[in-house]
Each structure stands twice: as structure tokens, then as C-alpha cells.
Amino acid sequence: MKVSIIDYGLSNLLSVRRAAEYCGAQVEFVQTPEAVLAAPRLILPGVGAFEDGMNGLAALGLIEPIRQKAAEGTPLLGICLGMQMLFDESDEFGQHQGLGLIPGRVERIPAVDTSGAPQRVPNIGWRALVPAHGSFAGTVLQNVPAGGECYFVHSYEAKPQNEADRLADSPYGGRSICAAALRGSVIGTQFHPEKSGPVGLSILKAFLEL
């Protein structure tokens, strides 16, 4: 299994690499359009601000190659900020355009819960994954056990325009945050599978076997 991790200067590369290698993958970091276009599957990790992430991809000329690979059906996994950049736009520190691979936008997590009480932002910690449509069968989350938890750390949340693109939800403050999204061969996880123990590794392994 070969996987290319996109290195655009704003991501937790080593932990993702170690997790992928643990799952049996041959890993390479890619920074050029040619390398992205040649990849059999891609991981887009990320930490930090949406605008910085998109600027990093643009500076390397990777936006159109990523879009092309997604259109061709190449498996693409966006993690945390990488998931958010899969969407159309974000309002983090202004309005910024994303990759446009999953219709929807990214907005700040509300500062209060559904009862009106203040809640912590960012959302940090282990949260359960709940199937958005009753079951994870046939997806990269198919081996996640009932009540399986993954590790989250984020202040903004992705909101898919189409409910069909929601793969998993996670409860927070009386609401459901989109924990994972799926549209064709494009997958996003708001949580960090590489930091989520056996549950996260099962997700990475399922992705690598696509």
C-alpha cells in the first residue's frame, strides 16, 4: 500500500506518517504538482488556520492537482484542518475559499451550548463517533465499534451543505458536530485518526485499503 502525504508546511507530518507505516503503508511526502498527480492515494493533514493552509497549497501550485485527483476518483483523506479545506469556504479570520470538493462551509463552534451556558472552545478531547445515517458499513469507519471515540482539537466545524455527505457526527454542547464527511472518494475527519489509538488506526487502515 502506497500513500502520499501532502507537505505544504502546516501539518503534523511525522505522527501521520508513523500511523500510516504502522498500518503497513509505504509513505512519501509530496510537495509538487507532479508528485500529487502520480499518487495512488493522498492524505491532506493540517493544523492551524484555514487561510494559512490554503495559501500553503497555493504557493506550491497544489490546488488544481488535488482537485484533479479528486475528480479522477483517487482516494483523498483530509484530517482536521485538511478536512476543513475540502469544503467551499471558511469564515475563520475572514472569508476564505477552500478546495470545493465537498459542498458546504466552515464556521466557528458556538461559544455557548444549546442551553445558553458557556462552553469551551476549542473542542478538545475524546468524543464518540455516531453514524450520521444509521451505519458505518461499507465506509472507512466500518470497523469503528459502537461508542468508539476519537481525539478532537478544533475551534471551527465543517457544515456539509448536503446531509448525504455527513458520515459521522459527534455530540458537543447539545449539538452534533460533523466528525467525518464523505463524498465519492473524498473523505474528511475532523478528529485525528493518527492520535486516536486502535479506533483511529482502524480508520487509517481502511483508507489505505481503498
Residues with active-site annotation: 80, 192, 194
CA 113, CA 119: separation in Å to the nearest integer?
6
Handedness of CA 115, 121, 125, 127 (dihedral sign): positive
DSSP calls for 44-95 = E---S-HHHHHHHHHHTT-HHHHHHHHHHT--EEEETHHHHTTEEEE-TTS-
Half-sphere exposure of 37 (CA within 13 A, CB side): 9
Kindly state the helix (H) or strand (E) to which residue 203 belongs, with its residue range: helix 197-208
CA 144, CA 131: separation in Å to the nearest integer?
10
**Which region, left, alpha or beta, applies to residue 24 given φ > 0 means left and ψ of -120 to 50 means alpha?**
left
| End-to-end Cα spacing for the chain | 9
77-104 burial, b at 16+ Cβ within 10 Å, e below that, comes to: bbbbbbbbbbbebbebeeebebbebbeb
